[in-house]
Structure 1
Amino acid sequence: MAKTKPGKKDLDSYAIKGTNKVVRAGDCVLMRPSDSDKPPYVARVEKIEADHRNNVKVRVRWYYRPEESIGGRRQFHGAKELFLSDHYDVQSAHTIEGKCIVHTFKNYTKLENVGAEDYFCRFEYKAATGGFTPDRVAVYCKCEMPYNPDDLMVQCEGRKDCCNGRFISEINISFN
């Protein structure tokens, strides 16, 4: 674990106020936005520390929603899709509303029931440049669109034929 500044101490966990949930480094959390009309922000907790007055801060790595990225939301993005960014920040632990789970794309597609706290991530995102890792995505259909887990892949929109999930090729997902 990284060294803590003088007057600060590392904490192993933080109890979310008003709940019985405990957050630890590595957990994904929902954070209260300043605009109450917006959905909560999603972040991964990297570190928890308290100052000499016991004010608890969390160092987080932000997830971006597709519409928050350069290029915006595309047809193949799922409603619960997030991008793990290279954007780190320090926030008051009091802004944590709850915990959530950010699954891999593969694990998310295997869920029998997707709950309100379930999200998925298949890309890392460089906030300053708008670049993605990986920068290509598999295409499983003749319409050459990547798989959106919210859409039942039986046949393409406007088509009577489909490959029924067979890998066809890859496309570049550059949004620039």
Structure 2
Amino acid sequence: MRTKQTGPKRPKHDVNDTPINSPPVPDVKSPAQPHELSDKERAKLRDFLDKDGPSPPFSITTIPLNNPKKRKRSTTNLHTQSDLFEDRLSVQYEIKPLNNWESLRRYKKFTVGNESIAVGEHILVKHDISEDQKIDIAAQWKAKVLEVRALDPEHVYIRVAWLNRPEDLDSGRKDYHGLNELIPTNHMDIIDAMTVNGRLELYHWAEEDDESAMPGIGEHFWRQTYDFAGTKTFSELRHICIDDRPQNPDKMILQCPSETCGRWMHLKCIAEAAVGQTSDSQQKQSSNAKRKSTSMKKGARAKTPELTPGSTAQAKALNQATGVTAEVFVKGLPADEKDGGPPEGSTRVVVTREDGEDEVTDVKCLFCGAAIE
């Protein structure tokens, strides 16, 4: 038997507990630089940057690489961004006013408080600060740093590509999304570095590779992208199990040990299958009960209620019509995730009938029937 579940928490770079009040400082100039500005030019550029207050005075428009309309635009003002997580997110963009943007010096990184953040790293962007001034990481916006430009420490700007939470996109959060899952996009903006709250550690989980380490507990990760600028589509996720659904990385899955099968299964599907089988059997054994009231309706699925506090089961299913429940236990668990007792000694399904009688059965592959020990 092989299992996949959220891994242990990885060592992380510390994020400041309080927002940064000191000005960000650009650091290490990039080789390609604009001409040295005269005092008059610097004063004029500073006036432009200050005229709209703290909001960045630059706008950015993205154009899909395969968009035929881009040919009608002036190609001299277009730039290409080709390192956005996946090739499918490569995009062209245009910044206005371009002359003022390109008059700012380019930097490889910038410093906020005691953190030095480089181009290519990920950041927390101020969104919601509680009254005690502590950063709520979940509530912050997240982004990837693509470019840093500055006139002086009071005028530092960052071109970013946004990382979205599933619930921030039109399709919403699904049952297979992990708690700390983020979805990279090619949606770009230019923000003031004063809005940065610190660095974000982000892990790429290659879920199609069975040897790829699972995201750590509390770790932000990505496995899927969203083409905001072009097709408005998501990249494909791997589908598993009899329900042909993606894996939620916060929940365990089991793999069939048979070399000729080897398929992965959701524990909830194993519990639901056990409930369905027992419900059908219970209906057949009850000669006086009406079929329509005691059996699951054709095509109906068992419910997956929350596990009770302290339960060592990893998944649970319930048929409200028959009162049958099933819980799945996995050998060696709980290890660290749950309290209350030693690790489980066996992998099994415990089915409880309507009369309260328990039946313990082996966990079997939902595809080939092989026992999973």
Q: TM-score range by the shorter chain?
A: 0.7 to 0.9
Q: Does 1:120 align with 2:221?
A: yes
Give identity over the alignment, percent: 25
- Measured on the aligned residues, the alpha-carbon RMSD in Å equals 2.7
> What secondary structure sits across from 2:194 in the alignment?
helix
**Number of equivalences:** 156
Question: Which sections of structure 2, spanning at least 5 residues, go unmatched?
Answer: 1-29, 35-100, 131-137, 255-266, 275-362, 367-373
Contact 2:203–2:215 (CA<8 Å) still a contact in 1? no
Contact 1:65–1:83 (CA<8 Å) still a contact in 2? yes
> Mean Cα displacement is larger for which, 38-47 or 154-163?
154-163
Q: Does 1:110 align with 2:213?
A: yes
Q: Does 1:14 align with 2:91?
A: no
Normalising by structure 1, we get a TM-score of 0.75
Contact 1:57–1:91 (CA<8 Å) still a contact in 2? yes
Aligned equivalent of 1:85, options 179, 185, 193: 185
> Which stretches of structure 1, 4 residues or longer, exceed 4 Å deviation after superposition?
1-4, 161-164
> Mean Cα displacement is larger for which, 39-48 or 92-101?
92-101
Matches within 5 A, 1:21-40: 21-33=115-127, 35-36=128-129, 39-40=139-140
> What secondary structure sits across from 1:11 in the alignment?
strand
Q: Name the structure where helix makes up a greater proportion of residues.
A: 2
Q: Does 1:147 align with 2:247?
A: yes
Q: Looking at both structures, which has the greater relative contact order when contacts are Cα pairs under 8 Å and sequence separation is at least 6?
A: 1
Aligned position for 2:332: none
Aligned equivalent of 2:233, options 119, 123, 131: 131
Aligned equivalent of 2:268, options 149, 152, 156: 156
Shift of 1:121: 1.3
Aligned position for 1:171: none
In the superposition, relative to structure 1, how do residues 163 and 100 fare at CA in structure 2: closer, same or farther (>3 Å)? farther
Contact 2:205–2:215 (CA<8 Å) still a contact in 1? no
Shift of 1:110: 1.7
Question: Which sections of structure 1, spanning at least 5 residues, go unmatched?
Answer: 165-176
Contact 2:166–2:181 (CA<8 Å) still a contact in 1? yes
> What secondary structure sits across from 1:125 in the alignment?
coil
Paired letter, 2:197: E
Shift of 1:156: 2.0
Give me the whole-angstrom Cα distance separating, in 1, the residues matched to 2:217 and 2:160: 25
Paired letter, 2:105: K
Q: Name the structure where strand makes up a greater proportion of residues.
A: 1
Q: Does 1:67 align with 2:167?
A: yes
Contact 1:141–1:162 (CA<8 Å) still a contact in 2? no
In the superposition, relative to structure 1, how do residues 162 and 88 fare at CA in structure 2: closer, same or farther (>3 Å)? farther
> What secondary structure sits across from 1:12 in the alignment?
strand
Give me the whole-angstrom Cα distance separating, in 2, the residues matched to 1:162 and 1:82: 34
> What secondary structure sits across from 1:156 in the alignment?
helix
In the superposition, relative to structure 1, how do residues 85 and 58 fare at CA in structure 2: closer, same or farther (>3 Å)? same
Shift of 1:139: 1.5
Aligned equivalent of 2:176, options 60, 69, 76: 76
> Mean Cα displacement is larger for which, 6-15 or 70-79?
6-15
Give me the whole-angstrom Cα distance separating, in 2, the residues matched to 1:162 and 1:70: 38
Deviations 1:88-137 (A, max 9, x none): 00111111111112211238x6257434xx311122212365311x2x32
In the superposition, relative to structure 1, how do residues 127 and 36 fare at CA in structure 2: closer, same or farther (>3 Å)? farther
Paired letter, 1:22: S
